[in-house]
Amino acid sequence: MAPGRYMKLGIEAIARHCMEDVRPEFAREVRPGDLVVAGRNFGVGSSREQAPQALGALGVAAVIAQSFAGLFYRNAVNLGLPVLVCKDIDALADGRRATFDLDAATLTLEDGSVVALEPIPAFLRELINAGGLIPHLEKTLAR
């Protein structure tokens, strides 16, 4: 996702190489607000925080997958990137438009159909909505 050979670069440069080993056109084609849809164990092997950070730098609004690698999941939440588990991943197709509701744990497809997502615990939603762990801590400590 964020190839190790680019780790000495800044996050914007790393983002330009995001997913290039599996989908070379990804960084060129992704647009702000896009959702990334994936299969099982998304993010496995991407233990660096730069992996979800690169997706965020490209403007990805959320990642929806059948399951996530644990480290990727926590890094994403800590950076404020929504990571949503969808068991009915086959209902989603590349290029199809959809919107998600983090609190309701739903994904609404362009045809109006609604796909259930696994609910995210309230505290993790709080972190995501705050923009990640650091912004959440800053808000909490400012009180």
Q: pLDDT (tens digit, 9 = 90+) per residue, 94-112?
A: 888 899 999 999 999 999 9
- pLDDT for the residue 93: 78
Residue with tokens 């994936």: 38
CATH classification code of 4-142:
3.20.19.10
Displacement of CA 123 from its chain's centroid (Å) = 17
Tens of pLDDT, residue by residue over 56-74, are: 999 999 999 999 999 999 9
Percentage of the chain beyond pLDDT 70 is 100
- Whether 46 shows a pLDDT value over 80: the answer reads no
Across the range 24-36, mean pLDDT stands at 96
- The residues spanned by each domain of the chain are 4-142
Give the whole-angstrom CA distance, residue 107 versus residue 109: 6
- Whether the CB-CB separation of 49 and 74 falls below 8 Å is answered with no
pTM of the predicted model as reported, rounded to 2 decimal places = 0.93
Chain center to CA of 29: 16
